[in-house]
Amino acid sequence: MLRALLVVLLVAAPRAAAAQDLEARARALHRDAIVVDGHNDVPMLLLDLEFDLAMDGAAPGAKSPWPWVFLPWLPGAPSGDALRTDTDLARMEKGGLDAQFFSIWVDPDHYDPERPGVATARAQAMIDVVLGQVQRHPQRLALATSADDVRRIVGAGRHAALMGLEGGHAIEDDLGTLRRYHAQGVRYMTLTWSFSHGWGDSSGDEGTHGGLTEFGRDVVREMNDLGMIVDISHVSDATFWDALETSRAPLIASHSSARAIAPHPRNLSDDMLRAVGESGGVVMLNFGGLFLDPRKVGTWNHVKNTLRYGFPVPTTLAMLADHVEHVARMAGVDHVGLGSDFDGTLFLPVADFPNLTVELARRGWSDADLRKLLGENLLRVLARVQALASPPGPR
């Protein structure tokens, strides 16, 4: 018995040391790499609930905003430093997050073709609140509008703030408004959100156009001319293929996962994943359990499995890593990235960016491939889209 125990210890000790060494190297690589998150919805909390990125969004006793997001008439909504968020500057620093695309999302309540100007005013207010955070925290945060900006800002020890417009309804069918958003720093636009609008169909409903209208194709062409990335998260399958056919520049999915694993209509099929890769684009993985965990796809599934397994049904880090690896197999390792959807989705895995890097390193990912996933792939696409602009470069 003693001999057997000694053998176990002699075998286990080197393995434990090797595991510790691998983790240390992965964390060092994560800290050294440029880490880009493609999608974060904290601007709605900055605007509506007076949160500030310098506050402690994980403070003990702080409340989640989600009950009030779904039921805004409930009394007692938290605000400011009483608000529990997924995002703040301290955790961005701790997690090695270098560059964040902040989502300019216009709630459907602000969109009505019979009330022109309401949606654009809401989008402008969200742009202003992001720019306000940059002005308020200049030692920690700076606006980036190009890949070179990101590298310069990160090299100076600050976080790069980028903006993406979530939902083409926010331009209110006006290319001039699209140009105005771009001039203020918006560098991608998600063609639809979870509902179809006047020129494009969404994955969130039955649709009305069979994809993009001719004006919708004009929007894609204008985005190409501006050097603004076309984002196909949230769109219907038909809109996806129309956008791919129309765009002369690579596309991204800023916060989507793999439909083959979790059959949510917002996730991308294997054919779509391959097509994004062939276009030179990037699929950025959503961290939300609704899009990673097949047990949670659809509200009823989540309720049913919560009753079956107890609350909460955990979404694990391994599930997120499985989606990352599936996308890398289908699209290619040059075409996968991260788009957390922090502060915009539910049932996040108990994980952070460094833990994901460690998990993938354990699965055999090389340092070079990890750097691509963490940010280099997205920076390549941003640079390429801007290089293909007409005239070339940002304008």
* pLDDT single digits (tens) 92-108: 999 999 999 999 999 98
Q: Give the model's pLDDT for residue 1.
A: 66
- Separation CA 205–CA 195 (nearest Å): 6
Model confidence at 162: pLDDT above 80: yes
Nearest one of 309, 285, 280 to 295, comparing CA atoms: 309
pLDDT category at 349 given cuts 50, 70, 90 is: confident
In this prediction, residues 138-155 reach a mean pLDDT of 98
Is the bond preceding 116 in cis, omega lying within 30 degrees of 0?
no
Right CATH for 24-42+86-387 from 3.40.630.30, 3.20.20.140, 3.40.50.1110, 1.10.3720.10: 3.20.20.140
pTM of the model as a whole: 0.93
Instruction: State phi, psi for 251 to the nearest 5 degrees.
Output: -105, 160
CB-CB contact of 81 with 59 (8 Å): yes
Is the bond preceding 312 in cis, omega lying within 30 degrees of 0?
yes
Q: How far, in whole angstroms, is CA 182 from its chain's centroid?
A: 19
Model confidence at 62: pLDDT above 80: yes
Run of H or E residues at 277: helix 270-279
Q: Give the model's pLDDT for residue 171.
A: 98
Q: Give the model's pLDDT for residue 300.
A: 66
Q: Give the model's pLDDT for residue 19.
A: 86
- List, in order, residues 6 or more apart from 323 with CB less than 8 Å away: 257, 258, 261, 262, 285, 292
Q: Give the model's pLDDT for residue 94.
A: 95
In this prediction, residues 332-350 reach a mean pLDDT of 91
CB-CB contact of 75 with 101 (8 Å): no
Using alpha carbons only, give the angle 27, 59, 64 rounded to the nearest 5 degrees. Answer: 100
- Separation CA 151–CA 286 (nearest Å): 24
In this prediction, residues 292-314 reach a mean pLDDT of 72
Q: Give the model's pLDDT for residue 69.
A: 79
- Asked which of 111-115, 121-125, 360-364 is least confident by mean pLDDT, the reply is 111-115
Model confidence at 11: pLDDT above 60: no
Long-range Cβ pairs for the range 300-304 (8 Å, 24+): 302/347
- Separation CA 259–CA 294 (nearest Å): 9
pLDDT category at 315 given cuts 50, 70, 90 is: confident
- Separation CA 331–CA 231 (nearest Å): 16
In this prediction, residues 146-152 reach a mean pLDDT of 98
DSSP assignment string, 30-46: HHHSPPEEEEE-THHHH
The single-letter DSSP state of residue 187 is E
DSSP assignment string, 229-271: EEE-TTB-HHHHHHHHHH-SS-EEETT--BTTTS--TTSBPHH
Distances (CA, A) of 175 to 33, 172, 178, 223, 252: 37, 9, 5, 9, 21
